[in-house]
A = this chain, B = another copy of it.
């Protein structure tokens, strides 16, 4: 991890003042203008790929094809949010016509839309140096919402963060966004101070439970508490039914091995728990595949240290067998590890065995009776994802449904015969879930709905047409979809 000077108190003050100063003007940009600014950032990042990818490679140790793909995902994401802004549906415009007969009393003319919350602090993550960092999903959503953004750089890739921020800030300015609408700060203390500053109106974070909780607690304890959206810890359990194990155990083993070792296990959706029938042979099949996989350098020293101690804690537990020990290469790379235990032990030692181990390790859990799966599901804390590997015949039966009900109550995304890694940036995605997967289970940090985190409603009552925001005027000059008297949204005037 390279060192980089922390943002000074004076620099932070300038940054916060500039963000606040830009808020009104940025929120007042017309949709096409704001969309153009966000697209300009995407274009500039794409154009700078050959500059940025090598820096990302050096700072994150991630392979080049992955980083090029991730940058493409990042700019696609920015452009998808630009489309959303132009569409206008995210404003959730709702109009009630005046109605003297409305029970239980006359109803005035009421018109509601979403407006930006104000300056947002985004904490970049280390594991996606593009897609969940400086110009990642939180930034894209907040800018699209019309909020100035202050990114706190992740110390794992300070140089990439600085270069990315320079490109984004330049592109936004050139596209006509006000000065101060985007900036970067360095250092933990600057991040903490920003979360506590009265000019900041929301925070977003992707990272560890300890880090997210500490910052969320600061946000909640302010004189004016602010929403703090932290995406933190998830085991992403996978449950394999007896029949699925019998019919396609090999396919499951291959899929699982690929999913938990993808990106060296450094995904928030990495499956860390695999429930399989005892004696199904899946353990051996996963182990065989994992042994054949290349080792990889982890993101940075902090991640490596956390992984090593997590793996040591798990593998040293009396109830855990080491199936594939993992190992350390000459340049410090880590090769994947596979551990095993039984469902009874998981239920007995839940807190110790069901804790996230970020990196290429996973715990295989054997069961002897499918009924144990429901009990295991009930012992889970909040998860980003939960997966069932079953068979078509089982889909019509009660047992799987019961398991799915338990998983739905604990997870943000429930999968069938697929793998949780790879989170599509789209409309119906939900990347969230009950605590500790996230700090606020109502929201997603991936997909278009992520914009809702940074907006609040305001209703205008009996306002003359010329004083209304354009989106709420009689003639609907922006053509945004609007719900009238509770009906389905449409774009008519």
Contacts and interface: CB of A to CB of B under 8 A. Distances in A.
Interface residues of A, number: 88
Contacts of A414: 458-461, 463
Interface stretch (A36-44, A291-299, A320-328, A435-443): A435-443
B489 A435 contact: no
Contacts of A392: 464
A404 B411 CA distance: 42
A424 B76 contact: no
Interface in A54-76: 69, 72-73, 76
Interface in A175-224: 216-217, 220-221, 224
B458 A408 contact: yes
Interface string A106-141: 011011100101100000000000000000000000
B418 A462 contact: yes
A483 B412 CA distance: 19
A416 B462 contact: yes
Interface stretch (A154-162, A243-251, A310-318, A394-402): A394-402
Interface in A429-487: 429-430, 432, 434-436, 439-442, 444, 448-449, 452-453, 455-464, 466-467, 481, 483, 485-486
Nearest to A108: B418
Contacts of A117: 441
Contact of A411 (B110, B413, B449, B458): B458
A428 interface: yes
B411 A461 contact: no
5 contacts: A24-B409, A76-B104, A112-B429, A416-B463, A427-B483
A375 to B, nearest CB: 16
A103 interface: yes
A123 B165 CA distance: 46
A490 interface: yes
Interface in A1-55: 24
Interface stretch (A94-102, A272-280, A342-350): A94-102
A227 interface: yes
| Across the A-B interface, the 9 shortest Cβ-Cβ residue pairs | A430-B459, A220-B220, A395-B464, A427-B486, A110-B428, A96-B428, A94-B428, A415-B461, A112-B428
A371 B458 CA distance: 24
B458 A107 contact: no
A464 B428 contact: no
A450 B417 CA distance: 36
Interface centre among A408, A426, A439 (most CB of B within 10 A): A426
A324 to B, nearest CB: 28
A80 B14 CA distance: 49
A195 to B, nearest CB: 14
Contacts of A95: 428
Nearest to A417: B462
Nearest to A68: B104
Contacts of A381: 224
Given A72-B103, A118-B409, 10 more contacts: A72-B104, A94-B449, A102-B424, A104-B425, A111-B428, A112-B449, A220-B221, A414-B461, A428-B483, A488-B488
A422 interface: yes
A395 B401 CA distance: 59
A418 B87 CA distance: 32
A352 interface: no
A107 B459 contact: no
Contacts of A227: 440-442
Contacts of A434: 224, 456
B104 A69 contact: yes
B220 A396 contact: no
A414 B472 CA distance: 13
Given A414-B460, A444-B457, A456-B441, A467 B426 contact: no
A424 B107 contact: yes
A416 B461 contact: yes
